[in-house]
Amino acid sequence: MNLVRRLQPLYALLAGAIHACSFAPWDLPWLQVLALAALFVLSARAPSARSAAVLGFAFGMGWFGVGISWVYVSMHVYGLMPAVLAGAATAAFCAYLAVYPALALGLAHWLFPGMFARLAVGLPALWMISEWLRGTVFTGFPWLASGYAHTDGPLSGWAPTLGMYGITLAAALLAGGLSLLVLRERQRRARRYGWVALVFVVVVGGGWFGRTQSWTAPVGAPISVRLVQANVPQNLKFEPNGIARAFEAHFALMQGPGDKSDADLVALPESIFPVPIQHVPPSYLQAFRDFAQKHQTAVIYGVFLEEPRGQYFNSAVGYAPGDAGMRRYSKRHLVPFGEFIPPGFRWFVDLMKMPIGDQQRGATAQPLALAGQQIAINICYEDLFGAEIIDAWHTAGPAPTLMLNISNLAWFNDSLALPQHLQISRMRVLETQHPMLRATNTGATAIIDASGNVAAQLPYLTAGVLNGRVQGYQGTTPFIRYGNWPALLLAGLLLLAAFLKGRGDR
């Protein structure tokens, strides 16, 4: 028995690794529920809150050790950090993220001694709250949050009402019910079976019903789009001829057949030039302006802006036919260590040799009016934060009709980061029921329709253009109106119910 108990952290580690395999590119939502149920069963057999927390930490190390291993690539291969330090930094980052599931399991064991109250309600609610905290504390890192595994399947129907964190709660409630069945407590069997049946009907049935509900509707005529994926290797961007190489690659691809353009909107990736726009040859910038005027096509691309001197913004710049100036959006949610330097960590960022590693946050989420659409732009990592994406619907002026993500994931090579990021974008579409375009350097360049389906996509790590049509939408989902608050309120009510009832449940 002692040997079995000592091996439980190893079992939790393996369950966490399996949990990571439920996300893209494998897309196995029920595997996520089963892996989480296995963790809940292990925690139920833990003799103390500390032991339960250890299991949660081990689960997290397996989960993030597999799921975000691509962090090492950015630090070592492109950041030029020594392999040992990059490996240690990756492990430390995974350990930090693993603290959150550890807290959920430890607190559940401590707060709810009754097994039914803990597994049926208390632990699922704490799991969701821990995921929300992971996506919030220290600017947040909600990558591979449990709800993202359910972009396909019945639970996705909760996205427009409760958002990704509401789906996280729904999945945890299912996992808690399964764990109660596995444990086979002798007493109150009817109550356990009745609860599991109720949870299944409400969670799964409600999700299926939610998939049939439309909160938004098409508006106007569809527009034609051309999304450019130049596949410029990250290391080549910083060579002496990197600016010229970037311009030539992108400008050649954005041309239509016979020097004509049949696109209403041409979108290029994030930071196509590795320097501020003031250091880009004026002829290159003028070529983009001339293209927009000649073809009566809106053009948008990613570039750094420096204003005032020494203040850098990761931005999207847009030109519309007839415009004398440019329209811009600057990234508001920056990546720690890659785009801004947390206090006391400049030495660490300096080890990675990353240019423009200390940037400023943009001030507004105002959509850009281009090609007859109101486009809510988000840059790379920003689409992890659903509650911030919907800010574009809460600003003065016309509401967005579609979303555009421009990204450069060349930092991560051919890793899990690319399909995982596409899955994250799909969740933003499910929450808002507005389509999203993705223009990326290496992938995934894609058109996602208002139902969250990938209508068209370019292969990863290839140079090409994706031509297609996209329909703008109007209207607001409950998630656009209220964000994460309904899911947090529901989790709080479940915690209260578990606390009031659980003390007498032995």
Fold that domain 218-472 belongs to in CATH: Nitrilase/N-carbamoyl-D-aminoacid amidohydrolase (3.60.110)
- Contact of 389 with 382, CB cutoff 8 Å: yes
Q: Residue ranges of the alpha helices (H) in 334-406?
A: 346-352, 386-389
pLDDT in tens, 105-130: 999 999 998 889 999 999 999 999 99
Q: Is 270 tagged catalytic? A: yes
Q: Is the pLDDT of residue 355 over 80?
A: no
Local structure of residue 276 (DSSP, 8 states): B
Closest CA to 424 of 126, 197, 150, 202: 150
Q: Is 380 tagged catalytic? A: yes
Write down the pLDDT at residue 356.
58
94, 131, 380, 382: the catalytic one is: 380
Cβ neighbours for 177, distance < 8 A, ≥ 6 positions apart: 120, 195, 196, 199, 200
237, 331, 339, 431: the catalytic one is: 331
Residue 138 C-alpha from the chain's centroid:
16
pLDDT in tens, 372-428: 999 999 999 899 999 999 999 999 889 999 999 999 988 888 889 999 999 999 999
The tokens 């509900």 sit on which residue?
Answer: 213
94, 237, 270, 339: the catalytic one is: 270
Burial 432-447 (b: 16+ CB within 10 A, else e): bbbbbbbbbbbbbbbb
Instruction: Region of 317 please: left (phi>0), alpha (psi -120 to 50) or beta.
Output: beta
Where are the domains positioned within the chain? Answer: 2-214+484-502, 218-472
The whole-angstrom separation of Cα 100 and Cα 107 is 11
Q: Is the pLDDT of residue 186 over 70?
A: no
Write down the pLDDT at residue 93.
94
What residues form DSSP beta bridges with 336? 340
Q: Is the pLDDT of residue 350 over 70?
A: no
Helices and strands per DSSP (H, E), number in the chain: 17, 14
From the CB of residue 494, how many other CB atoms can be counted at a distance below 10 Å?
21
pLDDT in tens, 51-102: 999 999 999 999 999 999 998 887 877 667 788 888 998 999 999 999 999 9
Q: Is the pLDDT of residue 505 over 60?
A: no
Cβ neighbours for 214, distance < 8 A, ≥ 6 positions apart: 433
Local structure of residue 460 (DSSP, 8 states): T
pLDDT band for position 466 (cuts 50, 70, 90): very high
Q: Is 501 tagged catalytic? A: no
- Single-letter code of the amino acid located at 481: R
